[in-house]
Amino acid sequence: MKDLVAALGLALAIEGLLCAAFPAAMRRAMQEASQTPMERMRLVGLASAAAGVVVVGIVRLLLG
């Protein structure tokens, strides 16, 4: 649970930094995402989630 909360905090920090540093680009990205078909969003979301699980697993194996 501690790792989950830390990961959520890190995700929020990164998103916040991107919004602060590149507000116009973030707005364009959000507009494009809102027009993306739902099926593609699901596939991208599942692929991102799977990649995140793999990364966490690799880091835990390598760094203990």
Q: Where are the domains of the chain?
A: 1-63
Count of C-beta atoms within a 10 Å radius of residue 19: 13
Residues 18 and 26: beta-carbon distance below 8 Å: yes
Burial category of 27 from C-beta neighbours within 10 Å (exposed 0-12, middle 13-18, buried 19 and up): exposed
Residues 19 and 26: beta-carbon distance below 8 Å: yes
pTM across the whole model: 0.69
- pLDDT, tens digit only, all 64 positions of the chain: 888 899 899 999 999 999 999 999 999 999 999 999 999 999 999 999 999 999 989 998 999 7
3-state secondary structure of 37: coil
| pLDDT given for residue 56 in this prediction | 87
